[in-house]
Structure 1
Amino acid sequence: MSLLPSLRPGGRHGLATTESRDPIGYAVAALSRLARSDVLDRLGIRRQAEQAVFTATRGGFRTLTRASRAFNRSGSRGTAGARPAAAPSTGVFDLTPSEDEQLLVDVVTGLATDVLRPAAAAADEACAAPDGVLRAGLEVGLPILGLPESLGGVAEERSAVAGVLVAEALARGDLGLAVASLAPGAVATAIGLWGTDAQQRTYLPAFTGDDAPAAALALTEPTVLFDAMSPATTATRTPDGFVLDGVKSAVPRGAEAELFVVGATLDGRPTLFLVEGGTEGLDVEADPAMGVRAADLCKLHLRGVEVPADAVLGATDGPPAEQAYVECVRLSRLAWCALSVGVGQAVLDYVTPYVKEREAFGEPIAHRQSVAFMVANIAIELQAMRLLTWKAASRAAAGHDIAREVALARRLCAEKSMQIGLDGVQLLGGHGFVKEHPVERWYRDLRAIGILEGGVLV
């Protein structure tokens, strides 16, 4: 039985009022799925979270990508697919989440608190996400958050706001596990936003089922001063399609991914390509990093990888495909901003009671102005990061240009999130340097905000 009988009308972003049609109807769907399952209380997951993750630390494997499942080809090639409608504006500037949006936050926060947070330390050490955590994300419906109802999702309108709220809430549990859980949804969302009718009908049914495939959005490259708008990976035309060559780095769950969205330069234009796992010439290499380790980051090597002519995202190659690539980069950066806000909130929630309880020279250290001001600065910068991110998401949902808003949010989040991580370690003193407390892991994770591209998408 659903935990909620209905939603109230009047959502701020022009949301519909039925459970199945509005973006925040996702919250009801998630609650219903959660109620029917025992994810949050299943001892199997919790035991698995508390134990070392199955896989040994992935320090040096290199292998072929996982063979892709048999995606059934269907739909009209070269025809634009279904697109979610832009959310109508109310004309009122108000970024406060509506009651329905807050419900969505509460659902995902429960997942982050009860499933992701207990598994975080072991997953960070093992450089892999436990199967139980990934299953929990699937059962809640994370891969279909960005898909319209017509494509098997739950939204009738653009759901960038919902995506940002989910990313922020998940990251409060753990950034690496949040990236691992959101990675398949990034690919599904990309196909929903820019895929042709044939691409949507071929690939999206797999994401809307109970066994959604692992998938990854690969944009980052191991290049000094990497510019996401000018990828070094190249695509060359052939009579039958394209040949891709290059290397992508920081690809989440690359070793198990069955489908990739790869950024490459075609005729001087950045373009997105769909590449199925197991394609000849495609292999992965472990790429463990300083942070975001639970996402199982890998390098993706493309050596003469042949893809068909209809592998381009954006309906046609040329300006439409380039526009899709640019929008993808911006929406990915927006997702990373939301993740940074979530981790920053976790830092603030952790250090605030700590400085009130930790005593030095006969009194709590919170009584020292230097400590109190540092905590206050975290709260101030965090609120600025959140408001910029939410504003950009709201404009994206309404179909407006977001170049300026995303640039401002990314600039602030990249700089201030690293400072928040550093201040969190500083406030704990010696305890901030040891793994007994999660702040050192959050510090390492937050260093990635201004570096990584792709992986996640709203």
Structure 2
Amino acid sequence: MSLLSSLRPGGRHGIAESETRDPIGYAVAALSRLAQSDVLDRLGLRKQTETAVYTATRGGFRTITKAGRTFSRSGSSSSAGSRPADAARPGVFDLTPSEDEQMLVDVVTELAAEVLRPAAAEADETCIAPEAVLKAGLEVGLPILGLPEELGGITEERSAVAGVLVAEALAHGDLGLAVASLAPGAVATAIGLWGTEAQQQTYLPAFTSDDVPAAALALTEPTVLFDVLSPATTAVRTDDGFVLSGLKSAVPRGADGELFVVGASLDGAPVLFLVEAGTAGLEVEADPAMGVRGAGLARLHLRDVAVPADAVLGTTDGTTYAECVRLSRLAWCALGVGVGQAVLDYVTPYVKEREAFGEPVAHRQSVAFMVANIAIELQAMRLLTWKAASRAAAGKDVARDVALARQLCADKGMQIGLDGVQLLGGHGFVKEHPVERWYRDLRSIGVMEGTVLV
């Protein structure tokens, strides 16, 4: 029996039909199926039903955030929290994963293949991550991957390399579900890297328990020419703390969110704030996008949201925020590599088996060269991403390394998605094959900010 056999559909944690959708998911799926029926044309209801499908998918829900759990304040609010030690550098250029990292990758690779991949199509349709998939991620320790042992995690030193390897392996199954699974761990990692002792003692015990809260980094905003380092969301000082106002978009699992790390401008500098769900003035709205749909993306409305003075995560001069952006972009690069590898693994056997004019299409040089280019660019993306992760784990300045990786992964990742669709011809444009979903997902690599972190 495989490590994850109990997580397969139909097993003890199988993705049963009743577990994969909440009422919104049921409604959207039912309307979608109804829209495909010939009965609508006979009754003259085609236009009304298609409008209902669009409205349900686009709007989904809009409500105040639910007050889930209460995080009890504890610890000294002013003292610095524990920090993971920098990883030792061997002095040679070697990006080979350690034995422990390889074991972790093997487990996550099996999780992606047996749990995420089978659930990907339905999650993309309903914009909801199945509960069974999220539970499977918890069972392999995804939320505590970036925490040191003294904070309840599983590492002795900074784990940026392990985080990149895991993100890549998960994205090979599905990008949207990978983001949904990694989102809580991103918040836990952020608190582990920059939180005070009080913040760590208040929030991290929940992430190391069996009931991990839904949490997310909220940095992206729905504005034209959005600059993540200059958020339009503002923070104003008050006698008791701060008041946040603004709008955040592309927040994974926003409908279920219990804790958010929100980026806002304070005195002209970008700053991170911890905001608990249920806080007055905090409202969440469905925000389905072209890709990454399985993550259950939402918009977060902040209307004069009052937070205490100890809600600031890290420094207020913008350095913590900038580091958060870099580590987030690094995670998105790893996700792009994982999806790119999925494209390569899918199109390679396809072009060898698909025949045209009496021979496999792979015999055509134009096809063979296109597949070879995917492999070449993918390896370059992986090399730059792993190198940046290695330097981040060692505590080095990674601004240049992340910028190079980000640019390459955004450009070449999108090209890989395009080539994948092209290689399948007409099949690349239909949902019978997953390349159209991967094409849409790969567009997010150069657009999304926050949500994940290594």
1:350 aligns with 2:318: no
* SS of equivalent residue, structure 1 residue 38: helix
When the two chains are superposed, the root-mean-square deviation of aligned CA atoms in Å is: 1.6
CA distance in 2, matches of 1:159, 1:68: 30
For the residue of structure 2 that corresponds to 1:371, the secondary structure is helix
The one of 410, 416, 419 aligned to 2:406: 410
CA contact (8 A) 2:254 2:296 kept: yes
- Write the distance in 1 (CA, Å) between the matches of 2:105 and 2:166: 6
Match of 2:263 in 1: 263
Letter in 2 for 1:325: Y
Partner of 1:450: 446
> Residue in 2 aligned with 1:119?
119
Match of 1:318 in 2: 316
Shift of 1:122: 0.3
For the 8 Å contact 2:6–2:14, the answer to whether it is kept is no
Q: In the alignment, what sits opposite 1:331?
A: 327
Contact preservation (8 Å) 2:58, 2:288? yes
The secondary structure found in structure 1 opposite 2:386 is helix
Correspondences of 1:348-387 after superposition (within 5 Å): 348-387=344-383
How far apart, CA to CA, are the structure 1 residues paired with 2:82 and 2:232? 31
The structure-2 alpha-carbon separation of the partners of 1:47 and 1:135, relative to structure 1 and needing over 3 Å to count, comes to closer
User: How far 1:53 moved relative to its partner?
Assistant: 3.3
Contact 2:73–2:202 (CA under 8 A) maintained in structure 1: yes
TM-score, normalization by structure 2? 0.91
Structure 1 residues 266-281: aligned runs within 5 Å = 266-281=266-281
Does structure 2 retain, via aligned residues, the 8 Å contact 1:50–1:118? Answer: no
- Specify the code of the residue in structure 2 equivalent to 1:38: S
Q: Which residue of 2 aligns with 1:240?
A: 240
Q: Which whole-Å CA distance do the structure 2 matches of 1:224 and 1:102 have between them?
A: 41
SS in 1 for 2:87: coil
- Maintained 8 Å contact 2:19/2:132: no
C-alpha deviation, 1:173, in angstroms: 0.2
1:430 aligned residue: 426
Pair 1:160-2:160 in alignment: yes
Deviation at 1:59, TM superposition (A): 3.0
- CA distance 1:228–1:47, change in 2 (3 Å): closer
Distance 2:76 2:99 in 1: 40
Once the two structures are superposed, residues 84-136 of structure 1 have per-residue CA deviations (whole angstroms, 9 ceiling, x without a partner) of 00011110001122333222111100000000000000000000000000000
Q: Aligned to 2:7, what secondary structure does the other structure show? A: coil
Is contact 2:15–2:132 with CA below 8 Å preserved after alignment?
no
**1 CA distance for matches of 2:428 and 2:393?**
39
Q: What is the CA deviation profile of residues 13-72 of structure 1, one whole-angstrom value per residue up to 9, with x for unaligned ones?
A: xxxxxxxxxxxxxxxxxx9xx68x933576254442799634244531100112130111
Match of 1:396 among 389, 392, 396: 392
Match of 1:173 in 2: 173
Closer, same or farther: CA 435–44 of 1 in aligned 2, 3 Å: farther
Separation (CA, whole Å) in 2 of partners of 1:50 and 1:68: 23
Pairs within 5 Å for 1:171-320: 171-314=171-314, 317-319=315-317
Paired position in structure 2 for 1:48: 16
Paired with 1:52 and 1:40, the residues of 2 have a C-alpha distance of 13
Work out whether residues 218 and 455 of structure 1, in 8 Å CA contact, stay in contact via their aligned partners in 2.
yes
Gaps of 5+ in 2: 29-56
SS of the counterpart of 1:43?
coil
> Cα deviation per residue 1:131-162 (whole Å; 9 max; x = unaligned)?
00000001111000000111110111000000
More helix by share: 2
Residues 51/79 of structure 1: CA separation in 2 closer, same or farther (3 Å cut): closer
1:76, distance to aligned residue in structure 2 (A): 0.4
Question: Residues 182-234 of structure 1, C-alpha deviation per residue, up to 9 Å, x if partnerless?
Answer: 00000000000000000000000000001100001000000111111110000
Given that residues 40 and 111 in structure 1 are in contact (C-alpha distance below 8 angstroms), is that contact kept between their aligned partners in structure 2? no
* 8 A Cα contact 2:19 2:130, kept in partner: no
Q: Is the 8 A contact 1:48 1:130 kept in 2?
A: no
- For the residue of structure 1 that corresponds to 2:213, the secondary structure is coil
Secondary structure of 1:146's match?
coil
1:39 aligns with 2:7: yes
Following the alignment from structure 1 to structure 2, what is the Cα–Cα distance between the partners of residues 86 and 79? 20
Q: For residue 59 of structure 1, what is the aligned residue in structure 2?
A: 58
- Alpha-carbon spacing, 1:84–1:49, altered in 2? closer, same or farther (3 Å): farther
Deviation track 1:290-334 (CA, whole Å, cap 9, x = no partner) reads 0000000000000000000000011xx533xx2111100000000
**Secondary structure at 2:298's aligned position in 1?**
strand
Contact 2:7 2:14 in 1 (8 A): no
For the residue of structure 2 that corresponds to 1:95, the secondary structure is coil
- Which residue does the alignment assign to 2:79? 79
Match of 1:400, SS?
Answer: coil
Conservation of the 8 A alpha-carbon contact between 2:250 and 2:298: yes
Contact 2:249 2:298 in 1 (8 A): yes
Counterpart of 1:59 in structure 2: which amino acid?
A: R
- Aligned partner letter, 1:43: G
Partner of 1:98: 98
How many residue pairs are counted as aligned between the two chains?
422
Q: What is the deviation of 1:78?
A: 1.4
